[in-house]
């Protein structure tokens, strides 16, 4: 038996290690090469082309660069020219790819047959049917329900609906009605201004989750970090951030202080702060603010209601005013408790106003388009019309009320004569329709949007449609209306009008091409000064009497999921498998319970509770966390789909079922409800990736107080490497000698670079955009709920979250740390590999040669950071049990990275394919690689720019400078692993918290 035959037998019998090992290069099956007959001019095989377009995963409208290889888009990155996201992108935006290539997309127009079964149609037939129904229903109620469409498509729908005598309703699950209503009452405008976090020096968020789903999370996180990160060279102080809310959200985790005020009393806290500022003349308040002074409640009055000491309120107010750059924002559940929640926004507006910040950190003018979204009341009015049989024809595009308003909408739908859906997936609303006309994915279509005043963002098809028999809804509407031309022509006609106004006499073709290249037109919107509405005085009477406004406990709050949003992300495996940044739970929803409550009710993690609100009942597994106020329970949105494809369907529970179907006073929805809680006695293992909830003093995350950080002189090293114990000295000496010898051999001789990374924990927020970027760049398999429960997730980059508290359990906070391969200089994984698959590269990486690996897993066992991941199954096998990329999801695989097989260990290599790519390019240009040429996927996505990569041997590189920063430390430096990643300690206002 020769070696190859032996391996074959081994492979067949043990089904294990031989898959990728051995020589590998055996006779391959015959492959065919099919060339282009006419090569597209902008596609070079093997070279990526980038197209600028716009993200449509939420209303923020971030600019995208789509990376296209051989005619298929393989990665989405932020467009650095877009003023909204400045080249950064969140997990949801990156996962748009999995919407494009979703295996559950609707591929053809479908109609319900006589027995309710779905039948394929031709487009001519489908459009004919729709046109016939439109004709029939004219005058008998036609309604077009869309998502927020702030651009030409929305205008086309408006015009189309007008022509057929119907009405257009827009629906966004998170439409910020309270914010709009609060601004209207305080300033007389229902617009949503730009909050300039970058210029703020003191930030108070009353529940606003501006890093998750609030308005423009990527842009706000980016500018927040500019204000809130520590930079020793800077003269101004790092801004302080205070988070007020019943639940420590991702946004709250970045806070220097978390105040868990009693639910629904946040407005009183804001007003009392304003009172202190006015009464003490602490800030140059506008003249008309003076008359508020005696109307505002004093800290002494509100303290018992809010549940924090009056002195604390006074301190907050003084700090806010003294910073001369205060910014208060209100949002999240604080504006959605129910009736009267808009008063919080009024209170926050007053606070900003009396501190003289309106016009500075709060700027009306560059207004957010989401203020034009339909309110929840408009949706419920529509549902009432549907239920009353007043609507004969309902068309739905880009909205899924079948999930977000489950009971009421589904019932009402049965009263509608004919329902047409333009969905790309079988969501709940599409499944209940009569005719489905699948739209192109936003990455396949022409469109535009105006996410913020002054910004005209263009959307262009970045590739041919994945499913050729889908059609742009704009084209469908034009054909039904009997209009000539396509939606692209319509779009261009709109842009010609824009060109007339702002084109400055340029040729339109130039103007258009230019806009396409840059992703749109970006102009500064002129500022709009606002004054406090005199009517506020009456409102304050209401608030003053509030106090009784505090909600009863136990109170259940529903918070928006960062990854799944209102549920639209649930059909994308990257987002399902992305650990929630707070709970670290994947693939299912949970209910957050405070340890005291859990002790009282005798609950353990994973116990299933029956949550009964007046509106619905769900079964939810318990997750116990100190990051919630005792007496409050919290559940995320996003799961519990009844349809929506294989990844979303029948997963966990739908939190919307617990909410009232009636709009609150501000026209929005109450995201809180009183609940009765019943223990079921059932239990499940949470699909969590969390190890220990506490850092336990292991030196994984270091924290400095601001005062201490500012004292540090360059060259100081407060986290100096720990002393080597005596018994290890010999070993260290031997190692150093071996290194010396090694450095004279072959590739190791000379001065190769030493790739390194610096991660600034004063910037990292834990948002996990880097995690999704890594999945996209490196072909990481999503393993599914069952394997996550068995701790077999493949995430090369993970965000570790540790809770902190004072000795008495108060002052709870959280710290986060991105953990990836440290590319140790003295790596424990390397010497234990029997086949040299794990080895040290000359440029300082811990290389992992997949085709060499035989799967002993010794390396993973020996890794103190636990950043090596083993392929227990063949995730790439078409049709296999654990298939991670069912057709056509496999089209998003990065051709520059090997797809690993079963039995192989894999890990982060600082995106070695990008390093080699940059080196190849530099070689072609006869130069050496420059600092900044190489950006790993994680660093590129990071909305807070916390990750810096480069050559540590290059003294002038940014990463070398950061590695020498006094705040720098290495995780587990006591193990003498010599990591290439330097973490810069987090800096906090006040005393550093213990772990």
Q: What angle do CA 542, 543, 549 make, to 5 degrees?
A: 105
Comparing CA positions, the residue from 565, 450, 542 lying closest to residue 498 is 450
Q: How far is the CB of 887 from another protein (least distance, A)?
A: 17
The nearer residue to another protein, 19 or 313, going by C-beta atoms, is: 19
Q: How far is the CB of 829 from another protein (least distance, A)?
A: 15
Q: How far is the CB of 466 from another protein (least distance, A)?
A: 21
- Residues with Cβ within 8 Å of residue 662, at least 6 apart in sequence: 380
Q: How far is the CB of 34 from another protein (least distance, A)?
A: 5
Q: How far is the CB of 897 from another protein (least distance, A)?
A: 7
- Nearest-angstrom CA–CA distance, 224 and 219: 8
The nearer residue to another protein, 108 or 896, going by C-beta atoms, is: 896
Cα 515–chain centre separation: 27
Strands (E), 369-486: 393-397, 418-421, 435-436, 447-449, 455-459
Question: Do residues 238 and 706 touch, judged by C-beta distance below 8 A?
Answer: yes
- Residues with Cβ within 8 Å of residue 441, at least 6 apart in sequence: 96, 99, 100, 105, 424, 465, 466
| Residue 575 DSSP label | H
Q: How far is the CB of 892 from another protein (least distance, A)?
A: 16
SS3 state at 948: strand
Comparing CA positions, the residue from 306, 314, 240, 305 lying closest to residue 273 is 314
Comparing CA positions, the residue from 352, 341, 59 lying closest to residue 196 is 352
Q: How far is the CB of 556 from another protein (least distance, A)?
A: 48
DSSP per-residue codes, 911-930? SHHHHHHHHHHHHHTTSPPP
Question: Do residues 802 and 815 touch, judged by C-beta distance below 8 A?
Answer: yes
The nearer residue to another protein, 180 or 840, going by C-beta atoms, is: 840
- Nearest-angstrom CA–CA distance, 846 and 907: 9
The nearer residue to another protein, 46 or 113, going by C-beta atoms, is: 46
Comparing CA positions, the residue from 198, 238, 202 lying closest to residue 988 is 238
Residues lying near another protein in the complex (CB under 8 A) are found at: 20, 23-25, 28, 30-38, 46, 746-747, 839, 841-843, 845, 847, 849-852, 896-899, 909, 912-913, 916, 920, 923-924
Helix (H) or strand (E) holding 838: strand 838-840
Q: How far is the CB of 849 from another protein (least distance, A)?
A: 5
- Nearest-angstrom CA–CA distance, 839 and 852: 11
User: How far, CA to CA in Å, does 218 sit from each of 154, 215, 927?
Assistant: 24, 9, 35
Question: Do residues 681 and 610 touch, judged by C-beta distance below 8 A?
Answer: no
Question: Cβ of 32: how many Cβ atoms within 10 Å?
Answer: 4
Q: How far is the CB of 844 from another protein (least distance, A)?
A: 11
The nearer residue to another protein, 43 or 976, going by C-beta atoms, is: 43
Q: How far is the CB of 895 from another protein (least distance, A)?
A: 9
- Nearest-angstrom CA–CA distance, 317 and 870: 52
SS3 state at 758: strand
The nearer residue to another protein, 693 or 897, going by C-beta atoms, is: 897
Q: How do strand 617-624 and strand 591-593 relate by DSSP bridges?
A: parallel
**Please, what is the angle between helix 487-502 and helix 473-480, to 10°?**
100
Q: How far is the CB of 924 from another protein (least distance, A)?
A: 6
Q: How far is the CB of 915 from another protein (least distance, A)?
A: 9
- Residues with Cβ within 8 Å of residue 857, at least 6 apart in sequence: 870, 905
- Nearest-angstrom CA–CA distance, 65 and 208: 29
The nearer residue to another protein, 817 or 871, going by C-beta atoms, is: 871
Q: How far is the CB of 397 from another protein (least distance, A)?
A: 36
Q: How far is the CB of 877 from another protein (least distance, A)?
A: 14
The nearer residue to another protein, 639 or 822, going by C-beta atoms, is: 822
Q: How far is the CB of 26 from another protein (least distance, A)?
A: 9
The nearer residue to another protein, 37 or 720, going by C-beta atoms, is: 37
Q: How do strand 703-705 and strand 326-330 relate by DSSP bridges?
A: unpaired
Going 285 to 289 to 293 to 296, the CA torsion angle's sign is negative
Comparing CA positions, the residue from 559, 549, 703 lying closest to residue 629 is 559
The nearer residue to another protein, 147 or 847, going by C-beta atoms, is: 847
Q: How far is the CB of 617 from another protein (least distance, A)?
A: 50
Phi, psi angles (nearest 5°) of residue 581: -60, -20
Could you check whether the bond before residue 97 is cis, i.e. omega within 30 degrees of 0?
A: no
Question: Do residues 220 and 589 touch, judged by C-beta distance below 8 A?
Answer: no
The nearer residue to another protein, 710 or 921, going by C-beta atoms, is: 921
Comparing CA positions, the residue from 459, 448, 344, 368 lying closest to residue 175 is 368
The nearer residue to another protein, 30 or 602, going by C-beta atoms, is: 30
The nearer residue to another protein, 37 or 807, going by C-beta atoms, is: 37
Structural tokens at position 748: 């190791």
The nearer residue to another protein, 520 or 847, going by C-beta atoms, is: 847
What is the number of alpha carbons within 13 Å of residue 610 lying toward its C-beta? 9
Question: Do residues 422 and 400 touch, judged by C-beta distance below 8 A?
Answer: no
Question: Do residues 950 and 957 touch, judged by C-beta distance below 8 A?
Answer: yes
Question: Cβ of 711: how many Cβ atoms within 10 Å?
Answer: 12
Q: How far is the CB of 478 from another protein (least distance, A)?
A: 29
Comparing CA positions, the residue from 434, 441, 427 lying closest to residue 399 is 427
The nearer residue to another protein, 233 or 926, going by C-beta atoms, is: 926
The nearer residue to another protein, 525 or 849, going by C-beta atoms, is: 849
Q: How far is the CB of 8 from another protein (least distance, A)?
A: 17
The nearer residue to another protein, 15 or 45, going by C-beta atoms, is: 45
Question: Do residues 818 and 801 touch, judged by C-beta distance below 8 A?
Answer: no
The nearer residue to another protein, 229 or 909, going by C-beta atoms, is: 909
């Amino acid at each position: 038996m020769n070696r190859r035959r032996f391996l074959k037998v081994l492979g067949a019998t043990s089904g294990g290690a031989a898959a990728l090992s051995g020589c590998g290069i055996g006779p391959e099956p015959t492959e065919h090469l099919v060339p282009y007959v006419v090569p597209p001019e902008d596609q070079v095989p093997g070279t990526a082309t980038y197209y600028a377009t716009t993200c449509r995963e939420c209303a923020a409208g971030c600019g995208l660069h789509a990376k296209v290889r051989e005619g298929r888009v393989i990665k989405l990155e932020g467009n650095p020219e877009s003023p909204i996201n400045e080249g950064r992108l969140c997990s949801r935006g990156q996962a748009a790819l999995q919407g494009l290539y979703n295996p559950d997309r609707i591929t053809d127009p479908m109609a319900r047959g006589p027995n309710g079964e779905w039948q394929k149609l031709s487009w001519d037939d489908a459009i004919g049917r729709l046109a016939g129904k439109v004709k029939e229903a004219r005058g008998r109620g036609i309604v077009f329900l869309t998502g927020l469409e702030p651009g030409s498509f929305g205008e086309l729908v408006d015009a189309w609906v007008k022509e057929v005598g119907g009405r257009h309703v827009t629906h966004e699950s998170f439409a910020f009605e309270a914010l709009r209503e609060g601004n209207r009452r305080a300033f007389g405008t229902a617009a949503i201004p730009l909050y300039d976090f970058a210029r703020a020096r003191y930030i108070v968020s009353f529940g606003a989750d501006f890093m998750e789903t609030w308005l423009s999370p990527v842009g706000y996180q980016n500018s927040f970090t500019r204000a809130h990160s520590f930079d020793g060279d800077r003269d101004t102080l790092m801004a302080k951030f205070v988070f007020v809310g019943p639940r420590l959200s991702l946004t709250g985790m970045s806070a220097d202080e978390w105040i868990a005020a009693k639910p629904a009393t946040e407005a009183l806290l804001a007003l009392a702060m304003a009172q202190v500022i006015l009464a003490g003349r602490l800030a140059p308040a506008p003249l008309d603010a003076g008359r508020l002074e005696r109307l505002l409640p004093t800290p002494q009055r509100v303290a018992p209601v809010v549940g924090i000491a009056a002195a604390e309120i006074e301190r907050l107010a003084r700090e806010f005013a003294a910073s001369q750059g205060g910014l208060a924002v209100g949002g999240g559940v604080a504006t959605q408790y129910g009736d009267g929640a808009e008063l919080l926004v009024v209170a926050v507006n007053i606070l900003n106003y009396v501190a003289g910040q309106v016009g500075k950190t709060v700027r009306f003018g560059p207004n957010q388009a989401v203020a034009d979204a339909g309110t929840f009341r408009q949706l419920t009015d529509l549902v009432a019309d549907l239920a009353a049989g007043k609507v004969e024809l309902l068309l739905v595009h880009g909205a899924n009320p079948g999930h977000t308003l489950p009971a009421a909408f589904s019932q009402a739908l049965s009263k509608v004569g004919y329902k047409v859906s333009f969905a790309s997936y079988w969501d709940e609303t599409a499944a209940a329709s009569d005719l489905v006309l699948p739209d192109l994915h936003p990455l396949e279509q022409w469109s535009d949007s105006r996410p913020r005043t002054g910004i005209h963002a263009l959307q262009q098809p970045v590739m041919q449609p994945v499913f050729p028999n889908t059609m742009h809804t704009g084209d469908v509407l034009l054909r039904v209306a009997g209009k000539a031309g396509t939606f692209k022509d319509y779009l261009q006609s709109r842009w010609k009008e824009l060109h007339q106004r702002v084109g400055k006499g340029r040729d339109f073709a130039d103007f258009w091409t230019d806009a396409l290249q840059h992703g749109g037109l970006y102009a500064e919107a002129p500022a709009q000064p606002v004054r406090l509405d005199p009517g506020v005085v009456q409102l304050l009477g209401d608030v003053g009497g509030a106090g009784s406004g505090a909600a009863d406990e136990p109170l259940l709050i529903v918070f928006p999921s960062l990854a799944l949003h209102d549920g639209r992300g649930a059909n994308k495996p990257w987002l399902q498998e992305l650990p929630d940044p707070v709970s670290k739970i994947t693939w299912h929803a949970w209910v957050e319970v405070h340890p005291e409550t859990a002790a009282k009710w005798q609950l353990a993690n994973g116990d299933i509770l029956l949550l009964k609100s007046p509106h619905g009942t769900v079964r939810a597994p318990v997750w116990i966390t100190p990051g919630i106020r005792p007496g409050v329970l919290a559940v995320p949105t996003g799961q519990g789909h009844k349809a929506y494809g294989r990844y979303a369907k029948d997963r966990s529970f739908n939190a919307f079922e617990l909410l009232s179907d009636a709009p609150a006073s501000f026209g929005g929805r109450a995201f809180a409800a009183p609940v009765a809680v019943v223990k079921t006695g059932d239990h499940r293992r949470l699909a969590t990736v969390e190890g220990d909830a506490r850092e336990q003093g292991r030196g994984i995350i270091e924290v400095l107080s601001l005062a201490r950080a500012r004292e540090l002189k360059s060259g100081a090293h407060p986290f100096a490497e720990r002393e080597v114990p005596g018994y290890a000295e010999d070993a260290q000496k031997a190692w150093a000698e071996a290194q010396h010898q090694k450095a004279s051999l072959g590739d190791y001789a000379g001065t190769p670079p030493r790739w390194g990374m610096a991660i600034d924990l004063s910037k990292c927020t834990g948002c996990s955009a880097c995690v999704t970027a890594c999945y996209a760049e490196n072909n990481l398999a999503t393993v599914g709920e069952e394997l996550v429960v068995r701790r077999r997730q493949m995430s090369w980059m993970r965000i570790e979250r540790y809770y902190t508290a004072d000795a008495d359990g108060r002052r709870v906070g959280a710290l986060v740390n991105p953990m990836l391969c440290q590319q140790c200089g003295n790596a424990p994984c390397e010497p234990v590999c029997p086949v040299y698959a794990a080895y040290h590269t000359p440029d300082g990486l811990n290389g992992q040669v997949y085709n060499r690996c035989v799967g002993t897993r010794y390396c993973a066992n020996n890794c103190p950071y636990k950043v090596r991941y083993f392929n227990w199954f063949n995730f790439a096998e078409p049709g296999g049990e654990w298939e991670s990329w069912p057709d056509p999801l496999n089209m998003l695989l990065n051709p520059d990275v090997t797809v690993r097989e079963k039995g192989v260990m894999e890990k982060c290599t600082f995106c070695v394919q990008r390093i080699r790519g940059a080196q190849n390019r530099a070689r072609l240009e006869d130069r050496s690689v420059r600092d900044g040429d190489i950006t790993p996927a994680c660093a590129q996505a990071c909305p807070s720019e916390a990750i810096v990569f480069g050559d540590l041997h290059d003294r002038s590189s940014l990463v070398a400078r950061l590695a020498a920063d006094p705040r720098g430390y290495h995780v587990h430096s006591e193990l003498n692993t010599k990591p290439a990643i330097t973490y810069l300690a987090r800096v906090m206002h006040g005393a550093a918290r213990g772990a």
